[in-house]
Structure 1
């Protein structure tokens, strides 16, 4: 485990990214996109799991323009409120550009032709969808992505496989929004949605009160099979 520095595409600085490396040559790389809580312990554990499966995992600090190095705990109310405030300040278009810079950095660490995927959670799930539409990522996964109904106009730009995990009882993404997601994406040849009955936002977190182990393990197994098929 280490950190690398990645130059921003707009030449306005650079940002750190947490890196977990596999033993031996990486089968591919995966950019791990944070929740609104920063690159915290749970995101680092996601990276560790991917590295154990043979992937180079890189989690960029997407809040660096607001405050570098933010790590928050969603189970602490004051920190949850701080995280919601950060989301309001965050420029999502710049965030996708920073993810694109991270994808480029990841490709530089692979053999020629190596593939790079992305996986994101909450805000990161939304950014993963945007990344699929706007970059050359080879495969994208979003967990409990927020506000996808407002991004359906970008779906036609998605040319590589996308997987979305949708908890049916998500208190941030209500039934109407979920219905719009299915209406707009079920017929898309590159997009697959999996619903999780009785599950709430954050069910696949690595640590904390939100985790729902059985559903998390099912979603993660589907994610690994997806990456195995499309990244190698």
Structure 2
């Protein structure tokens, strides 16, 4: 189990909460776990705990802290899903990247300047791609990132390895957006895309009806091997 810690923003003028899970021994590297629109909820905390059990320092920044305190929502409850969508509409993604970057710097300070990766889901999958393009993160993974086709003009800024997991029946990422992602990124030397035929958005959620056990396990194995290679 992790704990909530306060991390300074890039300016140092404010602090924001992060869920921090530590391994039992010296961490081999650190991983920033980037939330869905549902906040740092039990599923995101569970993912941090799993990375800590695998030997990483895992940190999940509360990216909605400026607009909503302690966001912890359930995707399977319609009213809470609507709250999450409303928060997404208010969220400043550019500012969110700055907070992720602050979390990266904090992570490096905790592991003596070692390597830091990011893994994000839904909104977090999009932010993981943006983090790869806009920060010095060492490796990034995005699960069912929304709107990445609109970010392809940033691809030339990506110099570290990126992996994207794309469910082909994603209700939030239509087929034309997926095709644009492949057209724009398949030949990128640092980007790897994996398709998951017939699966929908959220297939790797830790809890709830969205999860597809077999596909989630496959994607997570790929992510684990990716970080073993690029955060070593």
1:64 aligned residue: 65
Return structure 1 stretches of 4+ with deviation > 2 angstroms.
Answer: none
TM-score by length of 2: 0.98
> Which residue of structure 1 aligns with residue 177 of structure 2?
177
Query: What is the rounded CA distance, in whole Å, between the counterparts of 2:15 and 2:124 in structure 1?
Result: 20
Distance 2:212 2:221 in 1: 14
Give yes or no for the alignment of 1:168 onto 2:183.
no
Q: Tell me whether 1:215 sits opposite 2:215 in the alignment.
A: yes
- Secondary structure of 2:187 counterpart: coil
Q: Measure the CA separation in 2 of the matches of 1:190 and 1:207.
A: 31
**Could you tell me how far apart the structure 2 residues matched to 1:14 and 1:103 are?**
14
The 5 Å alignment of 1:67-82 reads: 67-82=68-83
Question: When the two structures are aligned, how many residues end up with a matched partner?
Answer: 231
- Give the alignment's Cα RMSD to 1 decimal: 0.8
Deviations 1:29-59 (A, max 9, x none): 0000000000000000000110111000000
The CA deviation string for residues 122-154 of structure 1, in whole angstroms up to 9 with x for no partner, is 000000000000001000000000000110000
> Counterpart of 2:17?
16
Q: CA deviation at 1:2?
A: 1.2
The equivalent residue for 1:226 is: 226
Q: Aligned partners of 1:57 and 1:92: how far apart in 2?
A: 21
Where do residues 20-31 of structure 1 align in structure 2 (5 Å cutoff)?
20-31=21-32
What does residue 89 of structure 2 align with?
88
* 3-state secondary structure, aligned to 2:84: helix
The 5-angstrom pairing of residues 28-177 of structure 1 reads: 28-112=29-113, 114-177=114-177
Extract unaligned runs of 5+ from structure 2.
none
Distance 1:164 1:223 in 2: 9
Distance of 1:79 and 1:10 partners within structure 2: 32
Tell me the SS of whatever aligns to 2:173: coil
Describe the SS at the equivalent of 1:17.
Answer: strand
Counterpart for residue 5 of structure 1: 6
C-alpha separation in 2, matches of 1:99 and 1:40: 17
Q: CA deviation at 1:4?
A: 1.4
Distance in 1 (alpha carbons) for counterparts of 2:208 and 2:25: 32
Separation in 1 of the partners of 2:97 and 2:13? 15
Shift of 1:166: 0.1
Q: Determine the C-alpha separation between the residues in 2 that align with 1:69 and 1:12.
A: 20
CA distance in 2, matches of 1:57, 1:198: 31
Unmatched runs of 5 consecutive residues or more in structure 1: none
